[in-house]
Amino acid sequence: MATPTYQINDIVYLKESAAKGFLEALRISGVSAYGSNWLYSIAVRNTSITTATFGDHHRTMMTNAIMYFTESEFINLCDALQMSKDYHERMLLSINTQLSQMCGVT
């Protein structure tokens, strides 16, 4: 089996998100073999805080989730920037076309 492309603590970007113009850096928190593929885990911190009351005591609990991805779902920063740029250029072209057709703005 080939060595994994990414290692723990590497920063990666989701290909599907970048294709829609979103860039979010993710840090790899684990690498494991699954059959003939590598699975990469990302620890996602839950942003909501849950407060539970036990009698007279209040406890604040923060939870984390682990998400798993395959290697093909990740891209590097340069590829993510290019995909995001391409998306936004298409959106700008669409806006300019609508301005021209609907508002007479050239």
The pLDDT assigned to 85 comes to 98
Calpha distance 13→73 (Å, rounded): 8
Calpha distance 106→97 (Å, rounded): 9
DSSP 72: G
Checking if the pLDDT of 90 tops 80, the result is yes
Q: What's the distance, Cα to Cα, between the start and end of the chain in Å?
A: 57
- Extended beta strands in the chain, E state: 11-14, 26-34, 37-45, 50-54, 57-61, 64-70, 74-75
The pLDDT assigned to 47 comes to 60
pTM: 0.76
